[in-house]
């Protein structure tokens, strides 16, 4: 995380660049208007806001028009739900079929 005056920025990337290998690691960003590969997320917190902003990172770089915001008072709930989903997926991936 990087702190700049009244803003904090962190990034999580799971794919970098445009090689076939890296593009295969991308997940999907989808909306009613478009769909694109997702390489990561940039997380922003501003001292003057009441939400956290998550901006899409694609193979083209930061995509400032693709973002969502989470109210500060719901971030912990969001993270808990994300961890529960992770545990579920991991447990199902370890089951024998």
**Cα distance between residue 57 and residue 13, in whole Å:** 8
Print pLDDT tens along the chain (97 aa). 777 778 888 999 999 888 889 889 999 888 888 888 899 999 999 888 899 999 999 888 899 989 999 999 999 999 999 999 999 999 987 775 4
Q: Is residue 30 part of a domain?
A: yes
Q: Is residue 77 part of a domain?
A: no
**Cα distance between residue 31 and residue 42, in whole Å:** 18
How many domains does the chain divide into? Answer: 1
Model confidence, pTM = 0.80
3-state SS assignment for residue 82: helix
Q: How far is the CA of 39 from the CAs of 23, 59, 74, in angstroms?
A: 8, 6, 24
Q: Is residue 80 part of a domain?
A: no
Q: What pLDDT does residue 25 have?
A: 92
Domain ranges, residue 47: 2-72
Q: Is residue 91 part of a domain?
A: no
Q: What pLDDT does residue 96 have?
A: 58
Q: Is residue 43 part of a domain?
A: yes
Q: Is residue 92 part of a domain?
A: no
Q: What pLDDT does residue 49 have?
A: 86
């Amino acid at each position: 995380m990087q702190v700049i005056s009244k803003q904090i920025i962190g990034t999580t990337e799971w794919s970098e660049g445009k090689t076939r290998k890296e593009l295969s690691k991308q997940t999907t960003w989808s909306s009613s208007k478009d769909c694109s590969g997702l390489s990561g997320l940039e997380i922003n917190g501003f001292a003057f806001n009441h939400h956290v902003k998550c901006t899409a990172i694609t193979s083209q770089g930061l995509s400032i028009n693709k973002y969502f915001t989470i109210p500060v008072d719901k971030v912990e709930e969001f993270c808990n739900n994300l961890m529960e989903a992770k545990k579920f997926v991991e447990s199902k991936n370890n089951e024998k079929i």
